[in-house]
Each structure stands twice: as C-alpha cells, then as structure tokens.
Amino acid sequence: MTYWLTAPFEADVVVRALAAGVIAACLCAPVGCWVVLRGSVFLGDAMTHGMLPGVALAALLGANVLVGGFLAAVAMAVGVAAVGRSSKLSSDTSIGLLLVGMLALGVVIVSRSQSFAVDLTGFLFGDVLAVRTGDLVTLGAALAVTLAAVLVGHRAFVAVTFDPRKATTLGLRPDLAIPALTVLVAIAMVASFHVVGTLLVLGLLIAPPATALLWARSIPRVMVLAAVIGCVAVYLGLLISWHADTAGGATIAGVAVLMFFASTVARRIVAAWKPVTAVAASACFVAGCSGGATESPQPPAVTGGDEVVVEGARELDGPLTRLVLVDPASGATAVYDAVDETETPIGDFGPVTSIDDDGRFAYLRTGARTTIVDAGAWTFDHGDHYHYFATEPAVAGTLDVPAASVSANNSVAAVETTGGAVEVLDRERLGRRAVETTGVDGDVAAAAPLGSRLVTVDPAGRVRATADGETIDVDARCPGVSWAMASRRAAVFGCATGALRVAGGDGTPTATTIPYPADAPAQRPATVTHRDRADVFAGIAAGHVWVLDSRQRSWVLIPAPDAVAVNTAGDGTVLVLHRDGTLAAVDVTTRSETARIPLLDGVRPDGPAPVVEIDSDRAYVNNAAAREVYEIDYADGLRIARTLRTEVSPGLMVEAGR
C-alpha cells in the first residue's frame, strides 16, 4: 500500500509536478477566496478564456507568453467593467459577450501557428508533467507577490467585499482595492495555467475555497484551509493520474471539485446531527438544573469549536450597523440599515417618552407599557472573539410595565421599570418573539447581568448575586444607586459614594469601590453611556462630563457647562455634543479638545435631546428637525463620513448590531 502511495514520486518529473501543484494551490487559495466571497466566479472564468489571445499573440511574436496572458486577462476584466458601466446590459451579459469574443480571437490567432492543435491543447488543458525549473521560479515569485498583497490589503479587501459603501467611509479606497483584486486573480491564473491549463485553472481557483467555506468562517482560516485542500487535491490528482494513466491537470481539477461535493455531503450529515445533539444537551441541562427555583436562560447554541448557531438568523463576517429611529410624538418607528442605507418601517406605537437598548433590542416606553423592537442585528461575545448575526427587523413583543433602563449580556436583559421592579428577559427567546420574564424577589433598586448571575442592589445598598435560585451576598455596599451597566467583564453601578464594580461572574463575585474624586461636585450623573459592553463610561452632571474607567478604577471630570449629550468608545477620547449644536472630541488624559465641528442648528431645551451613539468605528448623532443622522469618523478629526436621510423624524435613536 505504501509503495502505491509513493511510487509515482520516485520520478523527477512527478516531483516537479507536485511542487508546482502545491505552489499553485497555495497561490490560488487566497485569491480564490476573494473570488468566491465576491461572487465573481463567472468573471474569473471569462478571464481564464480571455488569456488565450494574449498567449497566442505572444507565442507568434516570440514574446513571453506569461506577459501576454496577463495583459489579456486584465484587458478582459477592464472590458467587462467598461461595458457594464456604458450600457444597459447586465454584468453577466457583458461577460458572456466578451468571453466569446476573446476566445474566438484567440483561436483565430492560434490557427495562424503551424502547431495549432498541440499549442491549443496544451493551453486549454495544461501539462503538469512538463513543468520546468523556470516554471517553479515563476510560481514562487507569483506566490510571494500575492501573499504580500493579501497581507497589506486584507482590511481593504474585506471592506470592499462585504460593504463597498463602508469601505469608502473608512477611507479604504475601493477604487483601488477592486482593481488590485483583479490583478491578483490575473497573476494566479497566468502563473498556474501551465499546471492545469486555462479551462481547469478555475477548478483549482474556486473548488478549494468553496470547500473551505463549508467548514471555516473567518477569512484567514478559509484561506489556510483552502491551501491545504488544494495541496491534497494536487497529491491525489497526481497519484490517480499516474496509476490510471489519465491527464494530470484534468485529474487534479476533477479531484478538487469532487472534494467539494464530498464535503457538502459530509456537512449535511453533520448538520442533520446537530439538532439531535442540541436536544440531548438541553435534556441534560434541564435534568441537572431542575432542582433550582429559577430557569437559567440559554444562550445561542455553541456546537463545537467556535461555531455559534442561532435559529432563524444568518451569520455575517463582520458587524452590521442598524439604527432604531423613533418619532417621540407619533411613535412612528423604523430600523435604518447603515450599510445598505435602507429604512424598514416597523409601526406606529403612540407617544414614546424614552428608548433604551441592549445591543439588539430597542425598548420603547409607550405610556404604561414597553414595546420591544428587534433591530435584527447583533454581536455574540464568544470571549476571545465575536460572532455577528442578522435577521429581519420586527416587533419582538411588549411588556406590561414601563421600562426605565436596560442592561444586558449575551443571554439575558435586566429591565428596570419606573415602578422600581426588575424584569429579566431571555434574549434568545425574545428573538423568537416570545416575551418571557422572570421577576426578582425582594426590593431591587438596580440590576445588571454578570455571566450567568444577576447582580442586584436593593434600596438599602446591599449587593447580591443570584444564579439558578442561589443568592450570594457580595461584600460591598452601594448606597443611593442611580444606574447600572453591564460590561464584558463586570457589572458596574453608580452609587452616592462612587462607582461599584462587581466582577467574577463564573466564580465568587468580588466588588471594587471606585470613589468619586475628593473635589467632585455634590451632584452626580443620573445616567451614563458607553460603547456597548465597554468598560469606560461617560455621563453629565454639574456642568462636567464625568468619565469612569472601571478597569483602571479612576474618574476624570471634564468641565463642559453646556453639554447635552456625551459618549465614549473607551479609547481615551470622549465625544461631547454642546447646546450650540457643535460636537467636540476631548482627550480624557489632558482634558483638552482635539477637534470640534458644527453639526446642528442648536439644541432646543424642550423635547428629547440628541444622542451620541458610538461603536468601534463610527459615531452617530441624530437630527430630528432635519430628519437626518450624521455618521462621524471620530478617529479622523470628527469628519462627517455620511449624512443618512430618514423617513421617520429621529427624535429618539439607539444603535444595534455592534
């Protein structure tokens, strides 16, 4: 058996073929990943055929056929783009027309050669066993150039693949990124066609990345796995070709395609077993926890490795930004997709006095009730990385109590009501439009989730952590609690004496007191804001912006007598919206402004004040009077990246998805 697996590679020509095939597989893997993700497979096919006239013309003129093929492939791509922009034809139609035209031109040119049949056959189907040392050098150089380009341009390529508009606002130059990808595709095709030929190079370019996408989700993992799959296809193809006496290049491409179909079948089998294992796991969980007084909310199913499956949702490769917009007078509500710049009406709910959110759901206080709107975009915190999901926005349900504030983690949302009660919602079930609440025993003044526990503060300032019916007294006091927020690592409360940080959600909770500065004014912030799940918070009181870094256990007070809204991304900068409508960026360390821009025509004292919603890339400020939302690049001198025009007057706004 061992001899059968190794015998072909005792010949030097097969060893060179294996080396060439492995390099070609590693070259095609990263390029093919972008081709598959961008849905440009048909364009890739056209470019492979479009190389023929360039190669044929170069052969007739005695020039380098690789240079001729590269120029022809690029010309094909440029021609497709030009025809698509200048006519009413679809991209598929323009690609088809140019494909036939270039192929016909190539055959006409090749027919002028005396060795027409041999040259055309070698060009179309390749001759992997005829690879020379010079071909290996060419493939190696192409691989080095491609890997360097992929590493340098990774961020731009990701942005232009999944969100060209966002790429523009991030300053990633999609007008350069797209041509760069086209050039990389041409390099991979030209360098590899000697191995498998132009008709079959697409198989090596497409099949391994398509197979890898069945098993991996992050782009770097897809590229690495595609390279491994391609190398395996090369080895098996050469092995089969040697023993079955078949064409080497065609066998390699055929094996790569067969591996895709085999993986598809295997993936379906694995998917079919997931519900069975999930039911079994749930049964074990229920059996183990049935003695508790409270049912523990379940997060989205973790099915092994880092894969998270959410029923009815699609997983994305990056975060999706959506804004829930509400007209407070009429209750007209819409969800605005900041990527597609589309607005989805949700409904009219009557006067809305306030809005809060938990990163996915918006909680609208409508009189004595709370209407919960699913923005349809959220981030699942997996500890050392994130998963991103999307579904259709809709009304999730209603609560028969008015919400005053909300704090949440992956699993639950703690809703504090205006009457002083706390309702705990299962966020996974809420995503299935099932509003199921669990009340908290005893008097509760504030609550925030911490891992699998719920940390509460009663009116007397006592702090407790509850999970599975078990309550633990936390060795800390929080008198006069005014707000509660959840970060990735802790539950943080605003007390009369300072902030209280409770950590250790999976073990014994520990509390740390963060006193106010000795010279702090007597008036404290009643509410604070922050980037979702971040550890740095900002609030307004007594003519100052109060910045709390809960991890560093420190407060910073910044004078701002006319501040009406504030937020921070936790990066050392706080954004302050002033009464005159200007937006300022302030360095927390030096307490000095680094930028200021005019944004609104002043802020009226009556009615809801504008808000500053913030994520890791952008900030959003609403302008109800103009029916606009401003997207601010706060890392670039408060540059207004986009002005989003809305149908709903956005007097109230929260951000979801990030």
Q: Is the pLDDT of residue 606 over 70?
A: yes
Q: What strand order describes the sheet that includes 377-381?
A: 314-316, 386-390, 377-381
**Average pLDDT taken over every residue of the chain:** 82
Q: Is the pLDDT of residue 308 over 60?
A: no
Q: Is the pLDDT of residue 302 over 50?
A: no
More confident residue, 80 or 321: 321
CA 238 – CA 241 distance, rounded (Å): 5
What's the pLDDT band for 36 if we cut at 50, 70, 90?
A: confident
CA 658 – CA 648 distance, rounded (Å): 22
* Cα atoms in the Cβ-side hemisphere of radius 13 Å centred on 189: 39
Q: Is the pLDDT of residue 392 over 60?
A: yes
pLDDT digits (tens, 9 = 90+) for 5-18: 777 777 777 888 88
pLDDT more than 70, % of the chain: 84
Q: For the residues of 93-118, what is the DSSP string, one character each?
A: HHHHHHHHHHHHHHHHHHTTSTTHHH
What's the pLDDT band for 457 if we cut at 50, 70, 90?
A: very high
Helix (H, G, I), strand (E, B) or coil at 448: strand
**Burial group, residue 207, by CB count within 10 angstroms (0-12, 13-18, 19+):** buried
What's the pLDDT band for 295 if we cut at 50, 70, 90?
A: very low
Given this model, what pLDDT does residue 155 score?
A: 76
Write down the architecture of domain 440-515 according to CATH: Beta Barrel (2.40)
pLDDT digits (tens, 9 = 90+) for 136-184: 888 888 889 989 988 888 777 877 776 665 666 556 666 677 788 888 8
What's the pLDDT band for 83 if we cut at 50, 70, 90?
A: low
Across 108-117, average pLDDT: 62
Given this model, what pLDDT does residue 51 score?
A: 77
pLDDT digits (tens, 9 = 90+) for 474-506: 999 999 999 999 988 899 999 999 999 999 866
Find the farthest-apart pair of alpha carbons in the chain and give their distance in angstroms, rounded: 98
Across 333-340, average pLDDT: 90
* Domain assignments of the chain as residue spans, ordered by start: 2-266, 303-430, 440-515, 525-658
Range with the poorest average pLDDT among 9-23, 89-103, 162-176, 621-635? 162-176
Given this model, what pLDDT does residue 310 score?
A: 64
pLDDT more than 90, % of the chain: 35
398 has which bridge partners? Answer: 371
Given this model, what pLDDT does residue 117 score?
A: 44
More confident residue, 332 or 248: 332
Given this model, what pLDDT does residue 298 score?
A: 43
Q: Is the pLDDT of residue 127 over 90?
A: no
More confident residue, 241 or 135: 241
Helix (H, G, I), strand (E, B) or coil at 537: strand
Q: Is the pLDDT of residue 306 over 60?
A: no
Find, among 436, 363, 364, 361, the residue nearest to 393 by Cα: 361
What's the pLDDT band for 206 if we cut at 50, 70, 90?
A: confident
The topology (CATH level 3) of 525-658 is Methylamine Dehydrogenase; Chain H (2.130.10)
Q: Is the pLDDT of residue 292 over 60?
A: no
**Burial group, residue 39, by CB count within 10 angstroms (0-12, 13-18, 19+):** exposed
CA 537 – CA 147 distance, rounded (Å): 41
What's the pLDDT band for 121 if we cut at 50, 70, 90?
A: low
More confident residue, 530 or 55: 530
Q: Is the pLDDT of residue 200 over 70?
A: no
pLDDT digits (tens, 9 = 90+) for 507-566: 788 999 999 999 999 999 999 998 887 899 999 999 999 999 998 999 999 999 999 999
The answer to whether 491 and 499 have CB atoms below 8 angstroms apart is: no
CB neighbours of residue 260 within 10 Å: 20
The topology (CATH level 3) of 2-266 is ABC transporter involved in vitamin B12 uptake, BtuC (1.10.3470)
Across 185-194, average pLDDT: 77
What's the pLDDT band for 331 if we cut at 50, 70, 90?
A: very high
Given this model, what pLDDT does residue 294 score?
A: 37
Given this model, what pLDDT does residue 575 score?
A: 96
Q: Is the pLDDT of residue 116 over 90?
A: no
Q: What is the pTM of this model?
A: 0.60
What's the pLDDT band for 596 if we cut at 50, 70, 90?
A: very high
Given this model, what pLDDT does residue 129 score?
A: 66
Given this model, what pLDDT does residue 349 score?
A: 94
The answer to whether 585 and 593 have CB atoms below 8 angstroms apart is: yes
Q: Is the pLDDT of residue 648 over 80?
A: yes
Helix (H, G, I), strand (E, B) or coil at 645: strand
Q: Is the pLDDT of residue 220 over 80?
A: yes
